[in-house]
Structure 1
Amino acid sequence: MTPTSASPSLDAASTEGTERWTPRLVAVLVALIWPTQLLAAAGILGANATASVAQSFRTTHVAWFGLTVVLISTMLTPFVMKLGDRYGKKRLMLAMTALGVLGDVIAAMAGSFWLLLVGRAVAGCYGPFAALSFPAVRDIFPARLVKPASAVLGSSVGLVALAAPFLAGWLVDGWGYEGVMWFLAAASAVGFALIALLVPQTPRHDHRPGFDWLGGLILGGGLTAVVYAVGQGESWGWGDVRTLGWLTAGLAALVVFFFVERSNAHPILELKVLSRRPVALVLVTGGLAQSVAYTMPSMAILLALYPHIPGVSAGLGWTAQHNAVVSVSWNVVMFGAGIIASRLLRTIDARLLWWTGLALMGAGYGLVGFFHADETQLVLTSCLANLGAGLVVAGAPVLVVGVVSKNEQGMGSGMLNMLINFFGAIVTALSFAALATHSTVVDGTAFYQDGGYAWLFWTGALLTALTLAISLFIPPLRDPAQADAAPATSS
């Protein structure tokens, strides 16, 4: 695809309705939201299907059911963000979504655990989709609508969190893990059709010859090794030679990557861009804050579903259905906060909403640590936390838009996606470490006491406070129209 061939579609999208929302632009946004947030739904559905997988295949290695997707996604992200700039994002979106369908079908029909993991690995090729969808908004939408469209695309995860627990219970109870896999295959096929029919072609931002395959392998492999080590550290032990070996190998690969890229004429990552202070601050804080916003609710499920055994386990002992009903309140708040943010971002400095979101999220999780004994306490404190989380997930992509040019958007969004995976593994490990401070092991199973749950949420609050402190140094952002008119400069 050449830039010329893409121009008519993009020009029409940009001028239609004199930069106002039109039915066509709404349809394009829906077509991007569906496959992007399907990834979040897949995470929730997959977590609920894990027990069914373990029982069906009688395996003690069921952790690989989820870990395989994360590792493949992390490995491929550097290539995805560069190939999207090289060949246009729509083509790559269609290829990735098709692989998602194929992988889920293989997993649904698998007759053995290893074949199931093959299917999950193929489906993992769909994992870096967000590294394309957010830059596509920058390419397709009029400059005035880039910030609100990005905010809606990010905050729509609240709708997924609202519906996915109910859907998961229905699918797993009725059809086991196979039901989840067939649903994901069908939903991915719908995503493929939406992209093919509604999303216009996007321009190429990289016309240079050659491709930095070596840099991509070193970066993707290094990050994947670190994520794997952190993910396995809790079960292996942090001092285990396997944990230390994978961690050392991953960190060494990242060091080698920087030296390789400095001498490469066409690097897979422009280190000069990443070294700019505004870009570095936005990517680090955006990745860390979103990892907290996504990890804390999933960890809170342990509090809800673990049994209540005095002196042994301080879980609430809820059923999955009851937890889904109670969580409706704070997930609605999260989505509503994102929608409100998308409107406010037209006139308000994105940093103000970002700082406000972090302050509310940190305060909310701090209060959850103190008050989590029943439905009323959890609803009140979690609604406050998710009010902040809604502003955070809506604001993060807008911050990226404000510090990179259109040609750099793919790299910025791709790096943010990688850092969410990277920090997500670290936040999860820290969360389990916090739970373990007050735990009891009975017949090989760890049960967590009230102090452990308190420190779990306080860990989220402390990480959010750290993110807020770093975020205060983010300089003023540029409007998309200004950023697209000239390359960003160092600050």
Structure 2
Amino acid sequence: MGSSQAAPVQPVSDTSVRAIVLALAGAGVVVTIMGTVIVPLIPTLPALLHTSSAADASWAITATLLAGAVAMPVAGRLGDLHGKRRVLIACTWVMVVGSSLCALTSALVPVTAGRALQGVGMAAVPLGISIMRDVLPPARLPGAIALMSSSFGVGGALGLPISSLIAQAADWHVLFWLCAGSGAVFAVLVRVVVPESPVRAVGRFDIVGALGLTAGLLAMLLAITKGSSWGWGSVTTLSLLGTAVVVLLLWGAFETRVAAPLVDLRASAQRPVLLTNLCALIVGFAMYIITLVAPQVLQLPGGTGYGLGQSMLAAGLWMAPGGLAMMAIAPLTARLTAARGPKVTLLLGTGVMAAAHVGGLGLLGSPVGVTVFSLVNSCGVSFAYAAMPALIMGAVPPSQSASANALNSLSRAIGMSTASAVVAVVLAHLKVPLGTATAPSLTGIRVCLALGALIAVVAGLVALTLPTGAGQRSFRAGSAGPSGPAASTGSGGSVGSGPRPTATDDPSPTSVTA
């Protein structure tokens, strides 16, 4: 494999930094709204899509998750090879096309296809974090990453009340026109104000690896997301789980033998990367429990004795402060990470999340109480999410940062999907009669919160095993600023004129010093 020349690294002014962060974080918020934009439509989705089966209509929800899970590692590797900004913009435009398709039709199949295209946009967040590493000055990187990481929560929290309001006041297709329009705006904004990353990996795109990972992830996530409706012991569910295990094992064996793998499993097996991805999975699980439980408590009828009888719009508004808090405390998480290291930030985040779940056991009696423990949980998530990119980027070469961050985001998505399945099982078995139907029991709600607290503690114990000082170099030598690896000098000694880091000539994680 040969090496190519890196583009000169241009100084970035304070105004440019703010514009870059605004464009990337805004794009992150827009694409993450895709996950919740359809939630207010769930009760009427079969009628809206002209199908008599709620299970069929649910594919419009599942398709986004599946497409996002597949798109993140694939887009991450394409970004490392061909330009992260280029791939981020492409993913955003795919999301715009998908949103437009949903806005133009009311049929199940095209809406499901459009929702799948919307899911491709989820790759924008890990790509955006990697771009920040490559183009921002190291001193500005912690705050930028914290803000970008918070877009996961901000998009989810804001999407629910916004989509509820529009769904009540206008035709449901307006939701998707809004998604298409905002996506187009940020795609153009990124194109105008964000410079392309000067860092490239060298090698061919691993098509076989991409197909293998896609097949394995689809089988696994289908089993997880549909297992409760198909039956966990059904032939379909068990067959999919067995297929996922076999395909992913074969895929892993193949990836360790190919010269330019889709996912560098050897780099991913390094202790900081492996443990951080495990934390991402566990934190995603714990975080999503409150995301699932709190709206149900808010919307259950007061006749249950613990339901708060709120409308969908009101429930969304009660949940919104949590997402806004994630953005508000981003500067604090950045300062803590820069001063004490991302390991400390991650530990604090998991501790706050555990406290939120425990506190939730006693705060279920009012909308304010639910908002409080949801907000505290969001603050913990913000600390944890801000720490993970730093831990990842402190352990992998710059030419692998997009694919490594994408794998971390994928781990988080798998954790969230697993939490959804587990909560569904718990609440299905612990229920009370509600007229002619059933509702989750108070015991079921409490079991879920206690489980979330336990899982958050487990995440903290995993974080404790991270090496001391893990990730701290990512803010000192992890960006394309004057002290970053993308600014390494060549034989001529001028900044930015040397060879671009490649899969073979990147410094190893242990060889980079501040």
Q: Of 106, 110, 119, which aligns to 2:105?
A: 110
> What secondary structure is seen at the aligned counterpart in 1 of 2:339?
coil
Counterpart of 1:457 in structure 2 is 449
Give the whole-Å Cα distance in 2 for the aligned partners of 1:301 and 1:328: 11
TM-fit CA distance, 1:109: 0.8
C-alpha spacing 1:99/1:356, structure 2 compared with 1 (3 Å): same
Residue in 1 that maps onto 2:28: 36
How far, CA to CA, are the matches of 1:423 and 1:74 in structure 2? 11
Q: Report the 3-state secondary structure (helix = DSSP H, G, I; strand = E; otherwise coil) of the residue aligned with 2:35.
A: helix
Report the alpha carbon displacement of residue 169 of structure 1 after superposing the two structures with TM: 2.0
Contact 1:73 1:128 in 2 (8 A): yes
The one-letter amino acid paired with 1:489 is: T
Range 327-336 or range 347-356, more displaced: 327-336
Distance 1:347 1:46 in 2: 40
Name whichever of 386-395 and 224-233 sits farther off.
386-395
- Distance in 2 (CA, whole Å) between partners of 1:250 and 1:451 is 34
User: Mean alpha-carbon deviation: is it higher for 117-126 or for 171-180?
Assistant: 117-126
Once the two structures are overlaid, the 10-residue window that deviates more, 222-231 or 401-410, is 401-410
Deviation at 1:190, TM superposition (A): 0.8
Q: TM-score, normalised by structure 2?
A: 0.87
2:123 maps to what in 1? 128
Aligned to 1:428: 420
Q: 1:323 to 1:455 in 2, by over 3 A?
A: same
Amino acid at match of 1:363: A
Confirm or deny: 8 A CA contact 1:57 1:113 kept in the other structure. yes
Amino acid at match of 1:140: V
Q: Which has the higher contact order (CA 8 A, sep 6+)?
A: 2
> How far off is 1:361 after superposition?
0.8
Distance 1:80 1:164 in 2: 24
Aligned to 2:508: 487
Contact 2:292/2:420, CA 8 A, preserved across alignment: no
Is 1:292–2:286 an aligned residue pair? yes
Larger helix fraction of residues: 1
Query: Aligned partners of 1:372, 1:342: CA distance in 2, in Å?
Result: 32
Amino acid across the alignment from 1:470: V
User: Aligned partners of 2:180, 2:289: CA distance in 1, in Å?
Assistant: 25
How many residues get paired? Answer: 477
Equivalent position of 1:95 in the other structure: 90
Q: Residue 244 in 1 paired to residue 238 in 2?
A: yes
Out of 396, 404, 407, the residue aligned to residue 404 of structure 1 is 396
1:7 paired to 2:7: yes
Show the counterpart of 1:315. Answer: 307
Equivalence map 1:10-409=2 (5 Å):
11-12=9-10, 15-17=11-13, 22-59=14-51, 60=53, 61-208=56-203, 210-310=204-304, 314-409=306-401
Deviation at 1:45, TM superposition (A): 1.5
User: CA deviation digits over 1:84-135, x for unaligned, max 9?
Assistant: 1111012212221111111111111114211211222232322322231111
Amino acid at match of 2:23: A
- TM-superposed CA distance for 1:296, in Å, is 2.3
1 CA distance for matches of 2:238 and 2:436? 24
Shift of 1:464: 0.8
Looking at structure 2, the residues matched to 330 and 196 of structure 1 have their Cα atoms a distance apart, in angstroms, of 30
What is the one-letter code of the residue matched to 1:469? L
Compared with structure 1, are the counterparts of its residues 177 and 459 closer, same or farther at alpha carbon in structure 2 (3 Å cutoff)?
farther
What is the deviation of 1:452? Answer: 0.8
Residue pair 1:397, 1:413 contacting (<8 A) in 2 also: yes
Alpha-carbon offset, residue 215 of structure 1: 1.1
Quote the sequence identity (%). 21
Displacement after TM superposition at 1:295 (Å): 4.7
Residue by residue over 1:216-246, the C-alpha shift from the partner in whole angstroms, topping out at 9 and shown as x without a partner, is 1111220221111010111111111111111
Distance 2:180 2:375 in 1: 33
Amino acid aligned to 2:49: F
- RMSD value over aligned CA atoms? 2.2
Q: Deviations over 1:359-406 (max 9, x none)?
A: 011111122123311124323433332332221222222222222231
* 63 and 362 in structure 1: CA distance in 2 versus 1, 3 angstrom threshold: same
- The two structures have a TM-score, normalised by structure 1, of 0.91
Q: CA deviation at 1:357?
A: 1.3
Contact 2:81 2:200 in 1 (8 A): yes
Amino acid aligned to 2:510: T
Distance 1:231 1:101, change over 3 A: same
Q: Which 10-residue stretch deviates more, 414-423 or 294-303? A: 294-303
In 1, distance between residues paired with 2:441 and 2:238? 29
Alpha carbons of structure 1 residues 245 and 442: separation in structure 2 relative to 1, 3 Å = farther
SS in 2 for 1:487: coil
Question: Which stretch shifts more, 45-54 or 452-461?
Answer: 45-54
Bigger drift between 467-476 and 344-353 goes to 344-353
Aligned with 2:315: secondary structure? helix
Shift of 1:204: 4.5
The answer on whether the counterparts of 2:256 and 2:264 sit within 8 Å (CA) in structure 1 is no
Task: Give the CA deviation at 1:421.
Answer: 1.7
Alignment deviations for residues 232-277 of structure 1 (CA, whole Å, 9 cap, x no partner): 1111111111111111111111111111112212211112101111
Amino acid at match of 1:471: A
Q: What residue identity is the alignment partner of 1:420?
A: R
Give distance in 2, aligned partners of 1:190 and 1:461.
40
Cα separation, partners in 2 of 1:227 and 1:446, compared to 1, 3 Å: farther
Would the alpha carbon gap of residues 380 and 166 (structure 1) be closer, same or farther in structure 2, given more than 3 Å must change?
A: closer
What letter corresponds to residue 270 of structure 1 in structure 2? D
